[in-house]
Every structure is written in C-alpha cells, then in structure tokens.
Structure 1
Amino acid sequence: MDDERFDGMYMNMAGQLGGIDPLLDGFFGFLRRKTDFFTGAASADAAEATVLKALSKNKERAEEDAREKAAKERKRKAEEEARRARVAAERAKQQKQEDESRIVDESKGQAPVNNGGVCGNYRWEQSLGDVTVFVAVPKGTKAKQLNVQIGKKRLVVGVAGAPSGWLAEDSSWSVEDNAKEDNRLVTLTLTKMNGMEWWNRLLVGDAEIDTQKVEPENSKLSDLDGETRQTVEKMMYDQRQKAAGLPTADEQNKQDMLKRFMEQHPEMDFSKAKIC
C-alpha cells in the first residue's frame, strides 16, 4: 500500500521518537503488544517473511523513484543546456547581423586616393588640417586668365562654376606646368575650419569616399600637442576597429563596464542586455 494519508502521522511519530530506528522499533512493539503478528503466524518464519516481502517491495519502489528522479533531472539539465545554447546562438546571430549592418552603414563610399578622391577634371587630397585640390587647365593658361573664387560656400576655378563646398577658413592657389600630362595644374590649398575630422567629399554632389579607410601620416603626430595627438590617435584606432568590424574604444569601454557589472551581480539575468 502506498497511501499518503498517513504521512503526516508517520512524520510526527518519527519526530517524537527521534528517527527511523526508534520508529521501526515502536511499530514492531505495537504489533507485539496489540496483535498476534508474531504468535499467530503459520510458522516461525512467517512473520519475518512478511516483513522481508514488504521491505523488498518498497526497496524496489524506492530504486524506481530514484531512477525516475535522476531521469527527470537529466532531462531538465538537457533542456536548460539546449535553452542556453539557443539563447547564445540567437545572441551571436543578432550580434553578427548588427556588426554586418554597422559595417555596411559605416563603410559607405569609394576607397580614398591619397585620403581624397578623383572627380572629373580635378582631384583632391587631405590631411587632418588641410585640403589640396588639383585642377587641370589647358597648356599655356596664364594665372591672370583664371577665374578662381574660394569662399566658405563656393569654389570656382576657370569659367566653370561648381556647387557649394566644405567650409575653409584660409586658402591659397597657384598654377604650374604639368609636363606629365602636357597641361597646367591649378593647385588650391584650403585650411579646414574644423581640423579634427576627415572630409568625405570636396563639394556637394561629389561621390563620397570611405573615411574609415583614410590613413593619416603617423610621422606628423609628434608635431601635435598632447591633447590633439590623443584625439587623433583615438580617431585612427576607431577607424581601424570599424574597418575590421570591431568595437571602437568607447564601445569597448561600455562592454568592459557591463562585463564587470555582470561579474559583480551573478544573480541577475543579462540574457537580453544590449549595449546602446
């Protein structure tokens, strides 16, 4: 019989008697005093056989219960591991999609040529502080024949107008022979108003270049003051990281802070945590 109605009574008795052995001793004492379990048996071994039968039956049930419990625990662990693997796979997939999206979004534009670009009949180059523009004009063109206008919103060379360009604070220009192409080159030097960023085009309407692939001259970093040099080095590091699909310095700092916080608070669930 496997009746749970008396479990409370048995637990109370075991507690009062002080354990299993006193409980069994008390139970058999009850059978001795109040029943003919021992004296009315068919044979001398009948009582012992009855006890052993009940013991064997419940021992088998106990082993079966243990096997079922172990099987349920293995199933629970397998399901938990599968859930964690699924969450990790989904997280890795989402991170990959975000990385690919970031790379696509942040890697727009043509590959730079000398950190600038080639646009029609002119080309341009840049450093962090200056932009140099080279415009081809016919052989024999004199400086006095040129109409060169350099303003904050407009850049004109010769008789051809051009759309509005980037802002330049200071500028200069010259014209020289270009023996290689048998013409002359008008060279314009523009000083950026913001000397801490890379231009992705010279004029509005031009094809943009990918500023992540700009390669500043490391040899000139020593000429900068400490704060500016740190800023430029950080820009260069972030550009290399973005080009490789890796986090920038600021993003890495956020990840490190979140990692430390997770280690300090293992009781919290960070499975849906996302760095913004």
Structure 2
Amino acid sequence: MDEQKQSYCDNVYMTIVEQCKEGGVVEILDTFFGFLARRTDFYVGQGSKDCEQLVLKAFRLHKRQAEEKRAKEKAEAEAKKREKQAAAKAAAGDPRVQELTDAEAEQLQKELDAEKNKKSNDAPRSDNGEAATATTTKKKEGDGDAAEEEESAEDKGKMKPNAGNGGDYENYSWTQTLRDLEIRVPLPVKVKGRDLTVSITKSDITAGLRNQPPILHGQLAHHIKPDESTWTLDEGKTLIICLEKVNQMEWWGQVVTTDPVINTKKVEPENSKLSDLDGETRSIVEKIDRQKELGLPTSEDQKKNEILQKFMKQHPEMDFSNCKFN
C-alpha cells in the first residue's frame, strides 16, 4: 500500500476508533468483521474457505512488524543511555592508581607465594612425583589449538552473519529467528503490488518485477511452510517476504542454495521466552529447571561424571583423592 492510500485509510480508521472509544479494541474488531458480514461475501463467497487463513496471515505480518519496531526503538534507547553513561564516566575522570608501600608490597607477595604453594601441593601427582595437571593441561591446550584450526578451516570463506543473524547480498538481505526468515528486496523503482510476481513453494522461491528477470530465484536451502508464509510491499520501494520454517530447531546458512553461506556458529540469538518454544522443547527445558531446583544432576552433569570416571580408570597411577571437581 502506497503512502497516500495508507494515510487516507488511517484517517478513516481513526474516525472509527473515535466512535468505538467505550468498547475499545473488542468493539473495533466487532465493527470491522460485522461490516464484512453485512456488506461483503467474505464469509460465504468463492474464497470463503481461506478467509480465516487470510486474517491470520495479516495478523502475523503486522504483529511481526510491530515487534521489530518496538525492538529497534528499545535498542536505540539503550544505545543513547550507554552513551550518556560513558560521557558521565569520562567527565568524572578515571580513578587514580594507589601506590603500595614497601611493607604492603612485601606482605602481598608473601600471601601470593603461600597461595601458589598451596595449589601446587593440592594438585594430583603421578608416580614420579610430577604434577599430573601440567601434562593434562598441556594436552588440553594442544587439543584446543587443533580444534580451533580445524574449525577455522571448515568455516573458511563463510560470511559473518549480519545483526539479524542472516546475510546481506547485492540484490537483497535477510534475517532469521529459529521460527522464520524475513527477506527484504529493494526495488529499482516505486511500484504497486500488481507490478510484482512472487511465487513461494515448499522448496523454491521466485520474486521480482513482472515481465522482468527475477531478483530472487532458486531452490530454498531448507523446506518452509508456504501456507504460513507471506509477502508485502513496504512504501512501494521494498518487497518484504516472510517464510516460516518447517524445522524450527536449526539456523539457516543461506536462503537459496546458490547464495554465499553464512557461518551459523557465529549466530547470536536473542533470549527466547519459554512460551515461544514448541511443546517438546519446552518440556525438556522445564525438566532441566526442576532437576536444578531439586539439586539433582542434569544429563550434562551425568555425562561429565561418566567422562571423569572413565578417565580415572584409564589412569590408575594418578591420585585423585585430594582433587576437587566442579
């Protein structure tokens, strides 16, 4: 919808809102759907089977846009707050370093040496008297370096995700949550909905200007729910496509298979509410929370304990009696 038409409709709806002040949102919705029943064939016409789905699609689209707007405003407000705090801190000046006297420095060194000796005596030792933790630590560091090299080699050439955990390409950009994706396609000229052609199936997508080569076209990297996916035109200049994932437990590395791939290991998801999770995932999280409240070990704790017991059996020569494990 273009700006002029949107402004006109807003004025009409504001008149309706003024007339429905006492009943609030409930009366506004009742008035709107009553109008559709009285003056149109929305409920009984040829497309009446899809009317409920159309309402849900419109609701989800505008709900998503309202949430994104609220999140953006919140982020901007927090950024301004941090800037003010940083400016106030800079104005107050950095605290000066207090220099120790010779006596205080000598006493502090004695305490540090005593703590160091205590840790050294508490470390598990092998038969030859050397601290076993040194060898173990060295081995772990080596394994960590190898794993880091392997990871960097595997992810070499992959793009870093944008702020929305998606990618920015030449012709379009996209963001994602575990539930869905949003694709934004800037258009070369200002158009209306009838000037676009958009096709969304379970495994493919095509979008662009009518009678022109498509701007976005190809096989989707993963399957989506076409009936739950929508598209809209923002101010005639940007095509916005919302795709709902089939598998809502994975991050996408690309939209279509010909796109450059992002590094999903660098995705930074926002904290999810328990109510946002599907039933199976929610039950698992609730079970873990109950185990923690009762002081019972979680499956992760049990796995760590099994690994520890296995390590102790493989190294009977090492004394673990004085060791403390977290």
TM-score relative to the length of structure 1 = 0.51
**Maintained 8 Å contact 1:262/1:268:** no
Q: From 198, 201, 204, give the equivalent of 2:251.
A: 198
**Root-mean-square deviation (Å):** 3.7
Aligned counterpart, 1:162: 217
**Residues 264, 197 of structure 1: alpha-carbon distance in 2 compared, 3 angstrom cutoff:** same
**Maintained 8 Å contact 1:169/1:191:** yes
Aligned counterpart, 2:307: 258
Q: From 133, 136, 140, give the equivalent of 2:186.
A: 136
Distance 1:79 1:174 in 2: 72
Distance 1:79 1:256 in 2: 24
Q: Secondary structure at the match of 1:100?
A: helix
Distance 1:204 1:105 in 2: 21
Aligned counterpart, 1:95: 143
What do the CA deviations read for 1:86-126 (whole angstroms, capped 9, x no partner)?
A: 96476245413333235425655222111111111111111
Aligned counterpart, 2:232: 174
**Maintained 8 Å contact 1:196/1:232:** no
What do the CA deviations read for 1:188-235 (whole angstroms, capped 9, x no partner)?
A: 1111011111101111121211212222221534432564247789xx
Q: Secondary structure at the match of 1:194?
A: coil
**Number of residues paired by the alignment?**
173
**Maintained 8 Å contact 2:127/2:317:** no
Q: From 150, 154, 170, give the equivalent of 1:120.
A: 170
Q: From 90, 98, 104, give the equivalent of 2:152.
A: 104
Distance 2:260 2:284 in 1: 27
What do the CA deviations read for 1:63-93 (whole angstroms, capped 9, x no partner)?
A: xxxxxxxxxxxxxxx9946897996476245
Q: Give the C-alpha shift of residue 165 in structure 1.
A: 1.4
Q: Secondary structure at the match of 1:162?
A: strand
**Residues 231, 174 of structure 1: alpha-carbon distance in 2 compared, 3 angstrom cutoff:** farther
Aligned counterpart, 2:269: 216
Could you list the runs of 5+ residues in structure 1 that have no partner in the other structure?
1-77, 179-183, 234-248, 270-276
**Residues 82, 223 of structure 1: alpha-carbon distance in 2 compared, 3 angstrom cutoff:** closer
**Residues 214, 230 of structure 1: alpha-carbon distance in 2 compared, 3 angstrom cutoff:** farther
**Maintained 8 Å contact 1:163/1:204:** yes
**Residues 203, 145 of structure 1: alpha-carbon distance in 2 compared, 3 angstrom cutoff:** same
Amino acid at match of 2:143: Q
Amino acid at match of 2:152: V
TM-score relative to the length of structure 2 = 0.44
**Maintained 8 Å contact 2:186/2:239:** yes
Distance 1:148 1:251 in 2: 46
Aligned counterpart, 2:196: 146
Q: From 238, 257, 260, give the equivalent of 1:207.
A: 260
Distance 1:104 1:250 in 2: 29
Could you list the runs of 5+ residues in structure 2 that have no partner in the other structure?
1-125, 287-297, 319-326
Distance 2:305 2:155 in 1: 25
**Residues 93, 224 of structure 1: alpha-carbon distance in 2 compared, 3 angstrom cutoff:** closer
**Greater RCO, 1 or 2 (C-alpha within 8 Å, sep 6+):** 2
Distance 1:260 1:190 in 2: 47
**Maintained 8 Å contact 1:139/1:177:** no
